[in-house]
Structure 1
């Protein structure tokens, strides 16, 4: 994967020393020392590994000074930021550059516009009308490897207000006052602000920054412009990347916006900082408890309403709902328990149990219906249904056995076995097999 090697570094703004061969006009210019900015650059051809995950490949000449912008704009770096955050990616790149065997410490003269090339990491172009000066001529076959010795303004041209050119009418400027110096300060494109940069010689380094979106100068210059007076009231910006416990952050509309935080922290409600997590969220459990009118609703699982007391716990495969005095517990399609003095429902993968007293209604649709009995109990397993009751119990397993209006009735259904026994008027009917009616005692075994 190839990326442009013509990466912008820092714009130059100092006024160069006049050439010794310039005419007397040069003595009238204001001289500012060379910035002498130092950078560390190297050509990288590596897989970018962030926290043990290879997020992509980089084949690019890169300098330390451009890393913040490079991380924000390079697609491979942005993939890495999704894994470990911008700061982790930038730290990884810094280590790759500083520990590389072929790294170079680069210095640039005034009027230089640096660009990093794989074969010449410290290369630069000359600007402001200045011309590159080479020691050993020019390599026409590999122009990217031609590194100038300096940027000069050769005769008969001269320097006027930082520009090299022909000025037949003279320069006409005197040493400027402080007000004049401010008026002669470099200007940035609309929407950008002149801010200082670290490492500038005599504090004269500067660059044009969009403070509405720049990560390290958000809302204003983190380092004041060298052209501002000491009493300037320019708003000081914020380095969003330096916020504590931040792993992913951006600058939007002149304000830091925190997207993600380190472990144990979460974005604040305003998303301008990371705060400690107060309550640890559990992956698979929700607890809800209350009294006197609690409404706990886990959609599609359990609804508990208007009970004096209720508790609901939801896990992967278990739902428990219990209550008293009018509790409504409804597990749709499984069991309904209503208007009982006491009700309890347990739901597992293969087990449904429902028990109640004083008018309990327990209905497992298509399996067993138990209604209006003083006591009723239903248990449903994979291959087993038990139904027992007293005083008017109706137990009906459709197509197998009907037991009605008996003082006592018992029914057991297994995979290959049906037992039916009763007394005093029991009706046991297994269709097509045996009918026993109006006998004092009847017993039926089917295999």
Structure 2
């Protein structure tokens, strides 16, 4: 693993997160929404960089992984280079840097229903079939072959008649869900709700992720595995004045001990002693 960033001293200030203004109440729904797309990229031998306002662009290291927008939280927790950036600049800056890298080098991946995305160096848009479904090479779909049937979302040989769902009814249910998820008006995204997750209804809310201060660029609570991941701009470490514009946090001012990054996506501790290796 290549690391071009050494952290000798790192001290961060604790900043309480306070909403900039009262948020309007959003409409809730018990709809089970399904999405089929993501943006994924093979990031092997690509540098992960950030732009502190106090100096030149810093290359943290070669990230050496395959990642999707939906897997960014996991990458920030498991990839050594990504974790190094988080420790220096915070989760919001690291998320923005990784999002830009994936968007610049990635492709839009489309998955069939019941697919499990498998991002790899061989195929960033690869997938396998889950829930007992099998891959149909002719159509590229995940299908439930005869004589099996769909039971509670699973393809299996048998199940109690009280919960069995004939394939025709399952297709009709999916078509209804596809129509209902368009209930969010144009420009809004359906996101989950933290305090409601786990309940049978799984309510969601329609959010303008291009302008919402607490769900900037995507959902803070994904509705499913393919929901776009957002950033809570108010939770950026060291931030004092921030807004969300076009799906990106725009920092105007930081608290004492922090400086605005050159791309204005976050704040960096001025107490961190960073050593660049050339």
Q: Taking structure 2 as the reference length, what is the TM-score of the superposition? A: 0.49
Identify the structure with the greater helix proportion: 2
Q: Taking CA–CA contacts closer than 8 Å with sequence separation of 6 or more, which of the two structures ends up with the larger relative contact order?
A: 2
Which structure has the larger Rg? Answer: 1
Q: Taking structure 1 as the reference length, what is the TM-score of the superposition? A: 0.32
